């Protein structure tokens, strides 16, 4: 059955976790008194990059900056659709300087970057489906930013309200498998948002809270392979049943900061 799933080669932007640490608490996962094993984080991150390349994907990297421990979470830096870059304006003051460094990388690579006026955290809350943008709000990115995104890209933006602090970004509660369907954890969303998702994606793969707490929804799909936390075993089994190929990559050290595979992965869509 997996033969029916078609891989599409991707271009990813990442940032080495050279300065990764938990120095402050801006989500329920973060506890500054918990020590981060930087060597293990480096090893896990390198494994992710090697896995992407082994599956034919292109990986570019931004130089990490001392004093910005969350810069490794490249997904939050922007959203890129059709070669157009909508940048970030972080909710937490601690993370706001990250935007400048990512903007510089994009500009040096030949992109024009739009600076948002409202709080907006890139692919953390803005998920491109191939037809429209699913946009999370409730904890970080504002509804005003959703309007900005629609005006900038000219694609419909569908607002979804997140209600569980553990799933503070949309990319912790939902990910795109391909242009036809998504995976999501229903209870992370408001009742109305659940109805919207059910109408848009009647054949979606639904995840459990255990899947979500294991960062199984913070996954990356290339249309055939799904790069997923190995702890999300039941979700991986369901994906396999649906004809996708789970590729386990352990980023457990990054969960101490509330991040996982997708958080570390910005997609550059030409």
CA–CA gap between residue 76 and residue 71 (Å, rounded): 9
Angle at the Cα of 206 (from 240 to 12), degrees rounded to 5? 65
Specify which residues 13 forms β-bridges with.
Answer: 60, 266
Q: How far is CA 253 from the centre of its chain?
A: 16
Cα-based torsion angle of the residue sequence 221, 70, 165, 36 in order, rounded to the nearest 10 degrees = 100
Active site residue 263: yes
Apex 42 CA angle, 38 and 46, nearest 5: 170
Catalytic member of 15, 91, 146, 263: 263
* Marked catalytic residue, from 15, 169, 225, 264: 169
**Catalytic residue set:** 169, 263
């Amino acid at each position: 059955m997996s033969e029916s799933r078609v891989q599409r080669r991707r271009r990813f932007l990442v940032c080495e976790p050279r300065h990764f640490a938990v120095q402050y608490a801006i989500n329920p996962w973060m506890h500054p008194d918990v020590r981060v094993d930087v060597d293990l984080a480096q090893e896990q991150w390198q494994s992710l990059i090697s896995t992407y390349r082994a599956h034919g994907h292109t990986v570019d990297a931004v130089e990490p900056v001392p004093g910005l421990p969350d810069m490794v979470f490249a997904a939050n830096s922007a959203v890129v659709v059709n070669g157009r870059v909508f940048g970030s304006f972080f909710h937490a003051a601690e993370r706001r300087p990250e935007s400048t460094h990512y903007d510089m990388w994009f500009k040096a690579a030949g992109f024009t970057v739009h600076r948002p006026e409202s709080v907006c955290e890139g692919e953390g809350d803005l998920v491109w489906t191939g037809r429209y943008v699913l946009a999370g709000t409730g904890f970080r990115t504002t509804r005003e930013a959703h309007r900005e995104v629609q005006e900038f890209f000219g694609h419909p933006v569908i607002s979804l309200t997140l209600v569980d602090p553990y799933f503070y970004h949309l990319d912790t509660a939902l990910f795109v498998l391909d242009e036809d369907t998504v995976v999501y954890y229903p209870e992370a969303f408001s009742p109305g948002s659940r109805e919207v998702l059910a109408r848009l994606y009647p054949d979606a793969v639904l995840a459990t809270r255990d899947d979500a707490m294991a960062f199984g929804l913070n996954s990356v799909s290339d249309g055939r392979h799904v790069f997923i936390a190995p702890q999300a075993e039941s979700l991986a089994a369901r994906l396999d049943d649906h004809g996708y190929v789970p590729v386990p990559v352990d980023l457990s050290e990054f969960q101490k900061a509330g991040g996982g595979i997708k958080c570390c992965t910005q997609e550059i869509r030409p």
